[in-house]
Amino acid sequence: MLRYQLNPHFLFNSLNSIRALILEDQTKARDMVTELAELLRYSLVSKNNGDVPFSEEITAIQHYFAIEEKRYEENLQVSFEIDPLAEEYPIPSFLVHPLVENAVKYGMKTSGMPLKIKIQAKVKDNELSIFVRNSGTWLSDDAEGRGRPAGTGTGLKNVRERLENRFPGKYDLTTSEENGCVIIKISISRDVEG
Amino acid sequence: MSKIYQALVVDDERLARNDLRLFLNNHKNIEVLVKATNGQDALDMIKELEPDLVFLDIQMPGMDGFDILEQISSDVRVIFVTAFDEFALPAFEVIALDYLLKPVSADRLQQSIERLELIPNDMEDDLRELEYHDRLLLKLDTSLGFLKISTIICITSAGDYSEVLCTNKKKVLVHKSMAEWETRLPHTFFNRIHRTTIVNMEFVDRLE
């Protein structure tokens, strides 16, 4: 199984932001160090194949966004809408995180500013649905026929592989575009004995 | 006293711009003119203000650093500043004066600025003349790739772009004019046989 690693670009950019904040807003700089430490800890503690309650994944994503919002300032707006019923749901750690990173990476390329990202989770009929929306556009593989795929698709592929391993036949992963948003949806149906 | 260089700092993140500005304040021969927040902004400012030097972030909304580089005059020196290291290739010197990684260190920035004096402009002009065995670092859609000059079979014009046919049978669309190709390619090999076509004579079998 692939173990998620924190993206080195993210790490270096965070350090760069912290260095600038140290002189201008020490409280923000200190908060950012704490958030980065929490995120690093989550990435170190989480084991291969290890499930965590969905709420822990969300907490890690909140730390991630707290950092990115300080970095991008008015250019990034993030919102969460998490059904309390979703919180206990076991999922492999860092399952959703790559989708969130992609939302920032490709959203920043394709969206007007500010980039808006929304993370949603719902539970209905023992099915957990997770939505990651960003206000960008889907980068098609062959824009203008210039030969190279715009997004490599490895992020999505890895998420799919992890879902297939952990929830064979009981998951769905879809991508769509509507109302000026790119939407990635994961749904997982849970065994009744769960 | 050495020349004063007028510089433009281009980065979509305010904090990153301030951080670099702080370091540049220690360099008396660098005068930071303005700071641009996105690619289009940067391009407009470069055209209007004609700075000597641009510190250019690669990843930005809309137009990225490579898009900008393709569209500005080669008289402007460019130093890339980015946290992304996958582009850090020896050949970057073909197109950029230097390549700094964030967070930038004061010593490394010092070296970059010294390069301004070490590499005079006329040498940059020499760099623009390509050799047959050169590799050209080009933007191919959203990523960078190398184009070996010796693998070019022919080039045809396509509006503002040109289409390059290579020995691997792939065609790539490049943001370069026929005139630019004509000046830069080695003339022993490349011939502009038509307003819209340049061919590599190495791949010509016969003439009819």
The dihedral over CA atoms of A65, A57, A132, A35, expressed in degrees to the nearest 10, equals: 0
Which of B85, B104, B142 would best serve as a mutation to test chain A binding (most A beta carbons within 10 A)?
A: B142
Q: Which residue of B has its CA nearest to A68?
A: B13
Residue B121 C-alpha, separation from nearest chain A C-alpha, in angstroms:
31
Which of B9, B13, B14, B15 would best serve as a mutation to test chain A binding (most A beta carbons within 10 A)?
A: B15
The predicted structure's pLDDT at residue A194? 45
In terms of C-beta density within 10 A (0-12 exposed, 13-18 middle, 19 or more buried), how is residue B168 classed?
exposed
Q: What is the ipTM of this complex?
A: 0.85
The predicted structure's pLDDT at residue A160? 94
Residue A131 C-alpha, separation from nearest chain B C-alpha, in angstroms:
23
The pTM assigned to this predicted structure is: 0.77
- pLDDT tops 80 at residue B143: no
| Distance between CA atoms of residues B136 and B101, nearest Å | 22
B59 has a chain A CB within 8 A of its CB: yes
Specify the higher pLDDT residue, B178 or A19.
A19
| Distance between CA atoms of residues A124 and B208, nearest Å | 74
- pLDDT tops 50 at residue B109: yes
The predicted structure's pLDDT at residue B155? 94
Amino acid at the residue A66: A
DSSP string, B119-180: S-HHHHHHHHSPPTT-EEEEEETTEEEEEEGGGEEEEEEETTEEEEEETTS-EEEES--HHH
Query: What are the residues facing B81 on neighbouring strands?
Result: B100
The predicted structure's pLDDT at residue B176? 81
How many CB atoms are located within 10 Å of the residue A152 CB?
12
* Cβ–Cβ < 8 Å for A91, A155: no
Of A20, A147, A149, the CB nearest to B15: A20
Arithmetic mean of pLDDT, A121-126: 94
Residue A31 C-alpha, separation from nearest chain B C-alpha, in angstroms:
16
Residue B101 C-alpha, separation from nearest chain A C-alpha, in angstroms:
9
Confidence tier at B85 by pLDDT (50, 70, 90):
low
- pLDDT tops 60 at residue B46: yes
| Distance between CA atoms of residues B27 and A162, nearest Å | 51
Determine what percent of chain B is predicted with pLDDT higher than 90: 34
What pLDDT digit, counting tens, does each position of A99-122 carry?
Answer: 999 999 999 988 999 999 999 999
* Cβ–Cβ < 8 Å for B152, B166: yes
Of B19, B83, B84, the CB nearest to A19: B19
Helix or strand or coil: residue A95? coil
What pLDDT digit, counting tens, does each position of B162-190 carry?
Answer: 899 988 888 888 878 888 888 889 989 99
Helix or strand or coil: residue A72? helix
